[in-house]
């Protein structure tokens, strides 16, 4: 496996994001379960259910990290299909590779070190591109969205799962306390890493809301974009089509 990390040029924000995910990689799956009370599994299941991934398809799991979506999609594409698990962070990819090989789907999955802002894949290559909890870490989101559109086949769709704006007035203050006060403390306690989980809360707050992201997708070239809220808008699943 050639991670080829040195080929990816790193700017300052990218370096910071890299160091965050270098330090969380080993605890990432455990922390995901603990911090979301396991609900991230439901968000991801729903994403897969709506993805339309079928046997034989070629799909990209961008910013795929430790490979939750890759694993589910590898089972769906079967032996005749291919999943590319792409991430800018070598530590996350290594954890993902080990998991997928252990799960017996290693032969259907290719691993690629990639900056979402500048993908090395050809135009019109993938039936489906997923990006779960990755876009908010990207500096030039417009470039990443344009790249996703470029590598999709005509008729293909992108699914972007990301934290978003809570719309319930009851849930909103509870969620703010949780993400800004409790979450970094849990990061400190369990992963011994308060700063990375502080970054997580801040990056969630800075991320564009549902309608802004939908418009960004249209501006990046998508022919159609929609979104659905999950868990009161804590996360939203945006879908974009290339016709
Ligand atoms: N998709 C996985 C999931 O849902 O569990 C991982 C999500 S994790 C919160 C975010 C991932 O985005 C990290 O693995 C990180 O390395 C990756 N990432 C951050 N910036 C990126 C970029 N510019 N290009 C590609 N991946 C990036």
Cα 223 to averaged position of ligand 1 atoms, centre (Å): 25
- Ligand 1 pocket test, pick from 4, 15, 89 with the greatest ligand atom count within 8 Å of Cβ, gives 89
d(CA 156, CA 50): 13
Q: How far apart are CA 183 and CA 178, in angstroms?
A: 6
Find out whether 65 and 96 touch, Cβ atoms under 8 Å: yes
* 77 CA distance to ligand 1 middle (Å): 22
Ligand 1 nearest atom to the CA of residue 32, by list position = 5
For every residue of 27-66, DSSP letters joined together read: GHHHHHHHHTTTHHHHHHHHHHHHH---TT-EEEEET-TT
Q: Give ∠ CA 212-70-4 in degrees, rounded to 5.
A: 90
ipTM, two decimals: 0.99
Ligand 1 centroid vs 139 CA: distance in angstroms? 12
* Count of the separate structural domains present in the chain: 1
Q: Measured between alpha carbons, how far is 237 from 239 in angstroms, rounded to an integer?
A: 7
C-beta of 89 in contact with ligand 1 (< 6 A): yes
Tell me the CA distances in angstroms from 197 to 45, 72, 130, one per residue in order: 24, 26, 24
What's the pTM value of the predicted model, to 2 decimals? 0.94
Beta carbons of 72 and 132 less than 8 angstroms apart: no
Tokens of 7: 């080929």
- The pLDDT profile of the chain, 243 residues, written as one tens digit per residue, is 444 444 455 677 888 888 889 888 988 898 899 889 999 999 999 999 999 999 999 999 999 999 999 999 999 999 999 999 999 999 999 999 999 999 999 999 999 999 999 999 999 999 999 999 999 999 999 999 999 999 999 999 999 999 999 988 899 999 999 988 898 898 888 888 888 888 888 899 889 999 999 999 999 999 999 999 999 999 999 999 999
Containing structural domain, residue 216: 5-241
SS3 192: coil
Span 119-160, pLDDT tens digits: 999 999 999 999 999 999 999 999 999 999 999 999 999 999
Tell me if 183 CB under 6 Å of ligand 1.
Answer: no
CATH classification at residue 145 = 3.40.50.150
Residue 133: beta bridge partners? none
Calculate how far, in angstroms, residue 170's C-alpha sits from the geometric centre of ligand 1. Answer: 30
- pLDDT tens for each residue of 194-217: 888 888 888 998 899 999 999 999
């Amino acid at each position: 496996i050639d991670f080829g990390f040195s080929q990816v040029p790193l700017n300052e924000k990218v370096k910071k994001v890299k160091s965050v995910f270098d330090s969380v990689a080993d605890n990432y799956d455990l922390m995901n379960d603990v911090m979301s009370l396991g609900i991230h599994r439901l968000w991801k299941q729903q994403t897969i259910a709506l993805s339309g991934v079928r046997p034989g398809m070629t799909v990209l799991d961008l910013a795929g990290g430790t490979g939750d979506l890759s694993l589910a999609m590898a089972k769906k594409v079967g032996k005749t299909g291919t999943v590319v698990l792409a991430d800018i962070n070598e530590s996350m990819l290594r954890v993902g590779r080990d998991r997928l090989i252990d799960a017996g789907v290693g032969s259907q999955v290719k691993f690629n070190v990639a900056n979402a802002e500048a993908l090395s894949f050809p135009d019109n290559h993938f039936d489906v591109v997923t990006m779960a909890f990755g876009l908010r870490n990207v500096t030039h989101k417009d470039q990443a969205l344009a790249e996703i559109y470029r590598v999709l086949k005509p008729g293909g769709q992108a699914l972007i799962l990301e934290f978003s704006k809570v719309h319930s007035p009851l849930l909103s203050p509870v969620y703010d306390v949780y993400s800004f006060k409790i979450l970094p403390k849990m990061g400190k306690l369990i992963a011994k890493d308060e700063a990375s989980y502080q970054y997580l809360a801040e990056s969630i707050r800075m991320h564009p809301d549902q309608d802004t992201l939908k418009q960004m997708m249209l501006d990046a070239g998508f022919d159609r974009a929609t979104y659905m809220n999950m868990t009161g808008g804590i996360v939203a699943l945006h879908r974009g089509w290339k016709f």
